[in-house]
A and B are shown apart, each in its own frame.
Chain A
Amino acid sequence: MASLIGSYSLSFGLLFSVFIIFFSVRNLRDAEILDKKIISFTFIQFFFVVISFFGLIVSFINSDFSNETVFNHSHTTKPLFYKISGTWGNHEGSLLLWLLVLTLFISIFLLKSNQQPKKYRIFTLLFQQIIIVGFFIFLIKTSSPFNYIFPTPNEGLGLNPILQDPALAIHPPVLYLGYVGSSIIFSSALAAMVTSYVSKEWAKHIKKWVLASWVFLTLGILLGSIWAYYELGWGGFWFWDPVENVSLMPWFALTTLLHCILVLEKKKILTSWAMILSIATFALSMSGTFLVRSGILNSVHTFANDPERGIFILIFLFTLIFLSIFIFIFFHSVKEKLENNFFWLSKETSILVNNWFMMYFLSVVLIGTIYPIFLEVITANKISVGPPFYNKLILPFLIPFLVAMAIGPNLNWVKSDFKDKFYMTMFLIISFLLSALIIKQFDINFLINTILVTSAFFLFFSTSREFFVKKFRNISQNIAHFGFSLLILSILFNNIFSNEVITNLKIGETFKTEKFTINFENIEQEDEKNFKAIIGKFNVQNLDGSSDILNPELRIYNQPNIITSEADIKTNLLTDKFMTMNYVQNQEYFNVRYQVKPFMIWIWVSVILISLGGFLSFFKKI
C-alpha cells in the first residue's frame, strides 16, 4: 500500500515539473513579479517526493517484501533503526534521497532568494528543474524503488552487515546534502551567466550555499572515515580508495570555490574562474554518483553494480556539461575592472595560491582515480594506483601549501607590508627545532618528515597566534585553518608514532613485544536478534604497568550469512588502542591485530573544527 502511494507520488512529482517549467517560461516573458504559482508548484513537487520517500520508509519498517527494494535489502529480524536506514542504504533508495534533497533545496532557494532579481531566480529554478527531471526519469525508468514482486516472499535478503552501523546510517544523507547543495550552486551559476548577474551581490548570496554544501560535504566525508576506521577492521581511516577519492574531489573543488567566492564578494575579479569551479563541483559530485553506482570502480563500497544505470547517468552528465559549456561560451562576458588589482603580497594572491594548490591536489586525485580505468579500456593493462602514488605526489606539495596558508591570512587585501615578519621567523625556527627533536627519535626518513612536520607546526603556531591578535575578527576562517593544521599534525604523528602487531593466538596464549604483552584470556558467545557474537577477552599489559581489557568481536549474521569482525577501541585524548580478531579457517587459533594509534581522536576533532569554521561563517554578517 505504502509502496503504491510512493510510486504514484513519484509520477505526480514528475508531472509537476512540467507545470513548473511551463509557468516559469511564461513568467519570464510576462510580469516583473515572480508568479506565486511557480513557488506553490515547487512546494507541491517537494511534498510529493516527501510522500514517496515516506512510502519507502514505511515499506521498510513494515518489511513489506512485495516491494523489490525492501526484499533485496531488508529482513524481519533487523533492528528498526537499520530497517529505516536501509531505505537509503541501497541504490534505488539513495537516488530517491538525492531527489528529495534536490527538491528540498530548490524550495529553500526560492524562499531565501526574494532579494534577488526575478529573472535570475526563474532561470535557477529552470536549470534545477532540468536536473530534477533527469533524476525523476532515472528513478522511474531504470531504478524504481517501488517494483512489485508476486508472489510475496516471506523473508527478505537482508542488508549487508557492514552497512548496519550508526555512522553509516547517517553518512549518506549528510554527504548527499553536500553533493546536492552543489547542484544549487551549479544552477545558480548558469542562471547568473544567462542573466549577466555574475557580480559581488551574486557572490554574497551564493556564498551561503557554498558554505552549507561545504560543511555537509566535510562532515559526510568525516562520518565515512570514522566508519571505515572502526568497521573495516584494519585501523586506517583513509585508504585512497576510489570511492573515498570520489567524495574528496568535489570537496577540493568546493573548497577552492569557497576561497574564490571570498575574493569575488569583495571585488569583481576571477569571475570566469568562479563559474568554472561552480560547474566543476557539481560535475564532480554527479560523476561521483556515476562512478560509485555503475560499479566501474573496484572498491569496498560498491554495494550496487549496474552498468546500464551508469550509462544513463553518463549521458545525463554529458548533457549537463555540454549545456554549461555552451552557456559559458555564449553568455558569459568578462567585464572585470582592470586597474591596480593584484600585488605580489596581497590576500588575493594568497587565495590564488590556495586555488592553484587545491587544483593540483584535485588533479592528482582525479587522474589517480580515473587513469587506471582508461588504461584498462585502451590497452587492457590493469594497474593499481594506491597510497604510495598519492603520498609521493601530494606530500611534497603540502609543504609550500601549509607555509602559504600560514602566511596568507596575515596579508591585507590588495597590499600588505608584512609587519609580522618577526613572529613568523620565530615560529619557523621553533617549529623546525621541535620537529627535528621529535623526528630524531624515530627510525624514519629524517629530511622529508622534519620538513613536513615543521610546516605543519608553523601553520599551527601562526593560526594559534591569530586567535590572540585578531580576537573574534575572522574567527570562522581562523578556526577552520587552525583545524586544518591540527588535522595535518595529527595525521603525521599518527603515522609516525603508530605501533602495531599481527599475530595468531589460541585461547590462553600470550604474546610479548618490547612495549606490551597481549594475553588472550577466553571467548564468550552471545546471541543477538540478527547475529551471533563471539567475543574475545584480551588483557593487554603495557610497559608502565597499566593494563587494558579489550573485547573484539566476531559477528555471524543470519541474513545475509556473513561473518564480520568488530573492532574494540579504547579511546583517550592521547591514543587509541585498537584490536580486531579474525577467524582462521579450520584452525583453533584466531588472527589478532593490535594497534596503538596516537592522536586518533584529534583527527576527528580537527575535521569537526574545520566544519565548525564553515558553520560559523554562515552566520557572519558581511
Chain B
Amino acid sequence: MKFIHIFLIAAIISNFNFLKADEIKTENKIAKNLRCLICQGQSVYDSDSEFATSLKLVIRNKIQEGLNEEQIYSFLKTKYGEWILYDPVFNRNTYFLWLLPILIFLAGGAIILKKFYIRK
C-alpha cells in the first residue's frame, strides 16, 4: 500500500516535471517569436528589459490557463498589435510579402526554361 502511495507521488511529480519542461519549451518558443516592443530589434526571449520580463510572465500564465500557442499569439496581437509578432500573419496586408518571393522564383524558372526552348 505504502509502496503504491510512493509510486503514485513519484509518478505525479515526474509527470508534473515533464509537463513543466514542456511548458517552458512552449514559453521559450513563443517568446522567441515576439518582438520586445521597447527594445531595438530584440525578441522578448533575448531581452532582459522590464517589458520582456513581464511579457514572459504573461505567456507563462496564459499557458497555465490552458491556452495553446495560436491563442496566445492572437491574444497578444489584439493587445499590442501585429507589430509584436515576428511571424507576420497571412492576410490582405501581407499577401504580397508572402507570395511575391515565390512569384519571383517561378518567374525566374520560366525565364530559364524559355532560354532552353528558344536556343534549341
Q: Do A and B come from one complex?
A: yes
Question: In the complex, A362 Cα to B41 Cα: how many Å?
Answer: 21
Q: Does A54 reach chain B (CB closer than 8 Å)?
A: no
- 0/1 string, A359-402, CB within 8 A of B gives 1: 11001100110010001000101111111110011000100000
Q: Which residue of A lies closest to B94 (CB)?
A: A383
- Interface stretch among B1-9, B59-67, B103-111? B103-111
Taking the nearest CB of chain A, how far is it from the CB of B24, in angstroms?
Answer: 9
Question: In the complex, A298 Cα to B38 Cα: how many Å?
Answer: 11
Taking the nearest CB of chain A, how far is it from the CB of B52, in angstroms?
Answer: 10
Q: Which residue of B lies closest to A239 (CB)?
A: B41
- Asked if B33 contacts A302 (CB within 8 A), the reply is no
Contacts A300-B42, A342-B116, A383-B88 given; indicate if A582 touches B48 (C-beta within 8 A): yes
The 5 closest A-B pairs by CB, nearest first: A386-B86, A388-B87, A234-B46, A382-B83, A360-B105
Taking the nearest CB of chain B, how far is it from the CB of A342, in angstroms?
Answer: 5
Q: Does A299 reach chain B (CB closer than 8 Å)?
A: yes
Question: In the complex, A381 Cα to B96 Cα: how many Å?
Answer: 15
Contacting residue for B100 out of A342, A363, A375, A382, CB 8 A? A363
Contacting residue for A302 out of B32, B40, B88, CB 8 A? B40
| Most chain A Cβ neighbours within 10 Å, of B50, B85, B86, B102 | B86
- Asked if B108 contacts A356 (CB within 8 A), the reply is yes
Q: Does B93 reach chain A (CB closer than 8 Å)?
A: yes
Question: In the complex, A591 Cα to B45 Cα: how many Å?
Answer: 13
- Asked if B46 contacts A236 (CB within 8 A), the reply is yes
- Asked if A389 contacts B81 (CB within 8 A), the reply is no
Q: What is the number of contacts between chain A and chain B, taking CB atoms within 8 Å?
A: 103
Q: Does A573 reach chain B (CB closer than 8 Å)?
A: no
Q: Does A241 reach chain B (CB closer than 8 Å)?
A: yes
Q: Does A338 reach chain B (CB closer than 8 Å)?
A: yes
Q: Which residue of A lies closest to B22 (CB)?
A: A443
**7 A-B Cβ contacts within 8 A?**
A234-B42, A300-B40, A300-B42, A359-B108, A360-B101, A360-B105, A383-B94
Contacting residue for B104 out of A363, A379, A381, CB 8 A? A363
Contacts A367-B101, A375-B93, A388-B87 given; indicate if A382 touches B82 (C-beta within 8 A): yes
Q: Which residue of A lies closest to B48 (CB)?
A: A582
- Asked if B105 contacts A342 (CB within 8 A), the reply is no
- Asked if B100 contacts A384 (CB within 8 A), the reply is no
Q: Does B115 reach chain A (CB closer than 8 Å)?
A: yes
Taking the nearest CB of chain B, how far is it from the CB of A145, in angstroms?
Answer: 25
- Asked if B87 contacts A383 (CB within 8 A), the reply is no
- Asked if B96 contacts A360 (CB within 8 A), the reply is no
Contacting residue for B83 out of A234, A356, A368, A384, CB 8 A? A384
For window 297-322 of A, CB contacts with B under 8 Å fall at 298-302
- Asked if B40 contacts A383 (CB within 8 A), the reply is no
- Asked if A368 contacts B119 (CB within 8 A), the reply is no
Q: Does A242 reach chain B (CB closer than 8 Å)?
A: yes
- Asked if A338 contacts B108 (CB within 8 A), the reply is no
Contacting residue for B119 out of A338, A393, A585, CB 8 A? A338
Contacts of A356 in B (CB 8 A): 105, 108-109, 112
Q: How many residues of B contact A (CB 8 A)?
A: 38
Question: In the complex, A363 Cα to B109 Cα: how many Å?
Answer: 14
- Asked if B108 contacts A384 (CB within 8 A), the reply is no
Contacting residue for B41 out of A242, A352, A582, CB 8 A? A242
Question: In the complex, A338 Cα to B32 Cα: how many Å?
Answer: 53
Question: In the complex, A397 Cα to B115 Cα: how many Å?
Answer: 22
- Asked if A298 contacts B40 (CB within 8 A), the reply is yes
Contacts of B32 in A (CB 8 A): 387
- Asked if A298 contacts B41 (CB within 8 A), the reply is yes
Contacts A234-B42, A356-B109 given; indicate if A379 touches B119 (C-beta within 8 A): no
- Asked if B97 contacts A385 (CB within 8 A), the reply is yes
Q: Which residue of A lies closest to B118 (CB)?
A: A338
Taking the nearest CB of chain B, how far is it from the CB of A420, in angstroms?
Answer: 23
Taking the nearest CB of chain A, how far is it from the CB of B76, in angstroms?
Answer: 12
Contacts A363-B100, A363-B101, A367-B100 given; indicate if A386 touches B48 (C-beta within 8 A): no
Q: Which residue of B lies closest to A582 (CB)?
A: B48
Question: In the complex, A363 Cα to B105 Cα: how many Å?
Answer: 9
Q: Does A62 reach chain B (CB closer than 8 Å)?
A: no
Taking the nearest CB of chain B, how far is it from the CB of A461, in angstroms?
Answer: 27
Q: Does A150 reach chain B (CB closer than 8 Å)?
A: no
Q: Does A113 reach chain B (CB closer than 8 Å)?
A: no
Q: Does A422 reach chain B (CB closer than 8 Å)?
A: no
Contacts A367-B101, A397-B105 given; indicate if A389 touches B87 (C-beta within 8 A): yes
Q: Does B84 reach chain A (CB closer than 8 Å)?
A: yes
Contacts of A389 in B (CB 8 A): 86-88, 97
Contacts of A387 in B (CB 8 A): 32-33, 86
Taking the nearest CB of chain B, how far is it from the CB of A259, in angstroms?
Answer: 14
| Most chain B Cβ neighbours within 10 Å, of A360, A379, A387, A591 | A360
For window 516-545 of A, CB contacts with B under 8 Å fall at none
- 0/1 string, A417-458, CB within 8 A of B gives 1: 000000000000000000000000000000000000000000
For window 70-87 of B, CB contacts with A under 8 Å fall at 81-87
Add 4 more A-B contacts to A342-B115, A359-B104 (CB < 8 A). A360-B105, A379-B93, A382-B81, A389-B87
Taking the nearest CB of chain A, how far is it from the CB of B54, in angstroms?
Answer: 13
- Asked if A300 contacts B115 (CB within 8 A), the reply is no
Contacts of A341 in B (CB 8 A): 119
Q: Which residue of B lies closest to A379 (CB)?
A: B93
Contacts of A241 in B (CB 8 A): 41
Question: In the complex, A364 Cα to B88 Cα: how many Å?
Answer: 14
- 0/1 string, A281-299, CB within 8 A of B gives 1: 0000000000000000011
Q: Does A344 reach chain B (CB closer than 8 Å)?
A: yes
Taking the nearest CB of chain A, how far is it from the CB of B115, in angstroms?
Answer: 6
Question: In the complex, A589 Cα to B93 Cα: how many Å?
Answer: 44
- Asked if B96 contacts A371 (CB within 8 A), the reply is yes
Q: Which residue of B lies closest to A386 (CB)?
A: B86
